[in-house]
Amino acid sequence: MWAEPTYKSRGLFSFSRKEMHDILISIAVLTISFGIAFSGGAGKAMQDPYFFMVYTLPVAFLSVFTAFFLHEMGHRIMARKYGCWSEFRMWEKGLLLAFVTALLGFVFAAPGAVYISGMISRKQNGIISAAGPMTNALIAFSMMALAIFTTPFVAGIALFVAWINIFLAGFNLIPFPPLDGYKVFRWGIIPYLGMVALIIALYVALGYMRILFL
């Protein structure tokens, strides 16, 4: 999280033209990249372009929107609640890396980050950082609940999206900079361990659900 002190937030849900531009490009590039990776690489994606367009890309978009976009909005909204300026900025090289690695069948993504400017305490910084992984945890729980009350086809998609969100939350909780887990850990060991325990519990529950429903 970096500072841009020449701008100020206008509200929790207001977007500048620059931020909206960066968000839309990031979502588009990540959706295509994850769609290709989910197919197993560019070659396999092109073997059945119709399936890629009508199934793989929509699932990739749902995964990216929940795991990436809502994660970043969790940081952004919490920072604005503390009176900070906060906006998302894409990283072009990170998006290019995501696309190139997707062609090989996997994704290494560093699409950008929420930039923050303002005076905040260590606790507030920890809470802002925790908002992203906790948003993923809430989405994962919601997807798992949806899987119980829907058709097997929808349940499969819901559990897959839940897994993507759990994975992203767990990865971001690694306690090394610049990941969220580092700032949460600096805030307090108890909230950090509580978040880790929650993600582990969701992962275990998801494993059982995949056995039962798929």
Residues contacting 164, CB < 8 A, separation 6+: 63, 66, 67
Indicate which residue of 4, 19, 72, 87 is catalytic.
Answer: 72
CA distance 124 to 122: 5
First CA to last CA across the chain, in angstroms?
39
- 87 included as an active-site residue: no
Query: What token pair was written down for 95?
Result: 């998006």
- Return the biggest CA–CA distance within the chain: 53
Angle at 110 between CA 106 and CA 113, to 5 degrees: 150
- Distance CA(63)–CA(53), nearest Å, equals 15
Question: Could you tell me which residues come within 8 angstroms of residue 130 by beta carbon, excluding any fewer than 6 positions away?
Answer: 180, 184, 187, 191, 195
Among residues 94, 88, 96, the alpha carbon closest in space to that of 111 is found at 94
- Output the CA–CA distances (angstroms, integers) from residue 142 to 63, 183, 191, in the order listed: 13, 26, 22
Dist. CA 107–CA 102, nearest whole Å: 5
Q: Which residues are annotated as catalytic?
A: 72
